[in-house]
Amino acid sequence: MPRAGLSHDAVVRLAVEVVDEAGATGFADLTLAKVAAKAGVAAPSLYKHVGSLADLRREVAVLSVRDLTAAGAAATMGRAGADALRALAEAWRQFARAYPGRYAATQIGPDPDDPADAVAREVAAESVQVVVSTLRGFGLPDERVIDAVRAVRSGIHGFVQLEQGGGFRLREDVDRSFEVLLDMLVAGVAALAAAPVTAGSPR
Amino acid sequence: MPRAGLSHDAVVRLAVEVVDEAGATGFADLTLAKVAAKAGVAAPSLYKHVGSLADLRREVAVLSVRDLTAAGAAATMGRAGADALRALAEAWRQFARAYPGRYAATQIGPDPDDPADAVAREVAAESVQVVVSTLRGFGLPDERVIDAVRAVRSGIHGFVQLEQGGGFRLREDVDRSFEVLLDMLVAGVAALAAAPVTAGSPR
DNA sequence: GAGTTTGGCTAATGGGCATAGCTTTATGGC
DNA sequence: GCCATAAAGCTATGCCCATTAGCCAAACTC
């Protein structure tokens, strides 16, 4: 009958621990029962602090996106151009390696219409903003920024996700492949900044 | 008491229908109960044709990867170089748009150790082989092929996944962004073929 | 047509989310 | 200090799903 001293934040923190402890599938496998067990509490007790499993999931996702954003921001501070872009990519990849479960939580797209996802949409936008800022030094024309940001996000995210999912054999060579990808992205963004009318090449 | 006339393949086919009907989350939401309902049969009856939900999932995933591979192969036949690469990317993206659920099924990485995932590993390798073949026309040195393949897979997969997940606002501009990404990949692969010692640039 | 295989079924178990309603702890006013 | 009330637990319950067990009828084989 003693109290566990839980709180909304404590529950979310425990949920993050559960996610972190279960590897890349940790987010998918997140369950109220596991959080309750870790809290030393019966499962229904969690509803005093959290609306539902879906809510808890959302919160973990938001927190994870914030962490990823912060990691990216920290890595790019004081850098510019290619240097910044490489640092961002490395930070992103490191985050995914250090916290696979949280990285997976990062990947769920917020529903554009659901009011419950408002915060998720907001932090996602902030995360994209870091990429925008990172590319600032390339001197891209305004109407090209969006394309460059998307290409960079796609490349990095795709690589990290494939790596996470074990999509690459020959583990030794993965670092070099990442460098090659970054070379492509750096050169590609630079080219996009240089060439006024490139998009939609001969085809 | 009449029989439903099910079979292993019929169950898998129905499962694919269930996945296709539920959008991008169709694969995650795949359930034996839904398949049974669609088959007009009680859920336990499915066990006469399928080992478990996990098995069924695996089979749907394998089938989905095969479809994606076939789509890529069909699109690149008779093309070479940049042309082939663009065609592959378009095919990939089209597939994801036409069958979001199946595309999601494609993304689960087979366990490298689990014998049950042997077929999944095999079809995944075949899928990668299509990319390898597609890049043949670029004249990449052997030891660079793997990097190029990974960059291409990362870029395309990342883009498609972000698009799928609603990661891009401004839907009108997405096609152009995809073209820009393809320009980068084409130029990047070409550069990789041209420059003997590029990877790991100044940093 | 008899026997066997096969493909259905119902019943039951266990785990997960969620709600309802009770009890106890802490807290805050007096 | 004491009592009222709000907050934080609990158990009990219901529903949905996967899975297992065991039964029964249909269909195929000879």
Per-residue pLDDT of chain A (203 residues; tens, 9 = 90+): 678 889 999 999 999 999 999 999 999 999 999 999 999 999 999 999 999 999 999 999 999 999 999 999 999 999 999 999 999 999 999 999 999 999 999 999 999 999 999 999 999 999 999 999 999 999 999 999 999 999 999 999 999 999 999 999 888 899 999 999 999 999 999 999 997 654 444 43
The residues, any chain, with a CB within 8 Å of residue A1's CB and separated by 6 or more, are none
In this complex, do A151 and B177 lie within 8 Å of one another by their Cβ atoms?
yes
Nucleotides of C under 7 A from a protein CB: 6-12, 15-21, 24-26
Say yes or no: A199 contacts chain B, CB-CB below 8 A.
yes
Q: What is the mean pLDDT of residues B165-173?
A: 90
Instruction: Give a yes or no: residue A50 inside a domain.
Output: yes
Instruction: Give a yes or no: residue B146 inside a domain.
Output: yes
Task: Count the alpha carbons within 13 Å of B123 in the hemisphere toward its beta carbon.
Answer: 22
Q: How far apart are CA A67 and CA B31, in angstroms?
A: 33
Q: How far apart are CA A169 and CA A51, in angstroms?
A: 42
CA of A52 to C1' of C17 (A): 8
Residue among B112, B146, B191 whose CB faces A166 most closely: B112
- Contact in structure between A151 and A185 (CB atoms under 8 Å): yes
The CATH number covering residue A130 comes to 1.10.357.10
Say yes or no: B124 contacts chain A, CB-CB below 8 A.
yes
Cβ-Cβ contacts under 8 Å, B174 against chain A: 150
Instruction: List the Cα angle B98/B100/B102 in 5-degree steps.
Output: 100
- Nearest to A103, CA basis, from A63, A53, A64: A64
- Contact in structure between B190 and B86 (CB atoms under 8 Å): no
- Nearest to B105, CA basis, from B187, B148, B164, B180: B164
Q: Write down how long chain B is.
A: 203
The owner of tokens 């999509």 is A167
In this complex, do B192 and A200 lie within 8 Å of one another by their Cβ atoms?
no
Instruction: Give a yes or no: residue A203 inside a domain.
Output: no
Cβ-Cβ contacts under 8 Å, B191 against chain A: 183-184, 187
Instruction: Give a yes or no: residue A164 inside a domain.
Output: yes
- Contact in structure between B76 and B55 (CB atoms under 8 Å): no
- Contact in structure between B79 and B87 (CB atoms under 8 Å): yes
Q: How far apart are CA A90 and CA A83, in angstroms?
A: 11
Residue B202 has pLDDT above 50, yes or no: no
Q: Residue A82: which domain range?
A: 8-194
In this complex, do B148 and A111 lie within 8 Å of one another by their Cβ atoms?
no
Instruction: Give a yes or no: residue B40 inside a domain.
Output: no
Instruction: Give a yes or no: residue A63 inside a domain.
Output: yes
DSSP-derived letter for residue B192 is: H
Q: What are phi and psi of B19, to 5 degrees?
A: -60, -45
- Contact in structure between B73 and B128 (CB atoms under 8 Å): no
The owner of tokens 């914030």 is A66
Q: Is the CB of B6 under 7 A from strand C?
A: yes
Q: How far apart are CA A16 and CA A27, in angstroms?
A: 9
Q: How far apart are CA A14 and CA A17, in angstroms?
A: 5
State how many domains chain B has: 1
Q: How far apart are CA B124 and CA B117, in angstroms?
A: 10
In this complex, do B180 and A151 lie within 8 Å of one another by their Cβ atoms?
yes
Nucleotides of D under 7 A from a protein CB: 7-12, 16-22, 25-27
Instruction: Give a yes or no: residue B12 inside a domain.
Output: no
Residue among A147, A155, A166 whose CB faces B158 most closely: A155
Q: Is the CB of B48 under 7 A from strand C?
A: yes
CA of A61 to C1' of D29 (A): 60
The pLDDT of residue B171: 86
End-to-end CA distance of chain A: 72
- Nearest to B148, CA basis, from B165, B134, B160, B161: B134
| Exposure class string for B44-70: b at 16+ Cβ within 10 A, else e | ebbeebbeeeeebbbbbbbbbbebbbe
The pLDDT of residue B3: 85
Cβ-Cβ contacts under 8 Å, B173 against chain A: 146-147
- Nearest to A171, CA basis, from A103, A97, A100: A97
Q: How far apart are CA A153 and CA A81, in angstroms?
A: 16
Q: What is the mean pLDDT of residues B102-130?
A: 96
Query: Which residue in B has a C-alpha nearest to residue A146's C-alpha?
Result: B177
Cβ-Cβ contacts under 8 Å, A177 against chain B: 146-147, 150-151
The pLDDT of residue B1: 63
Instruction: Give a yes or no: residue A200 inside a domain.
Output: no
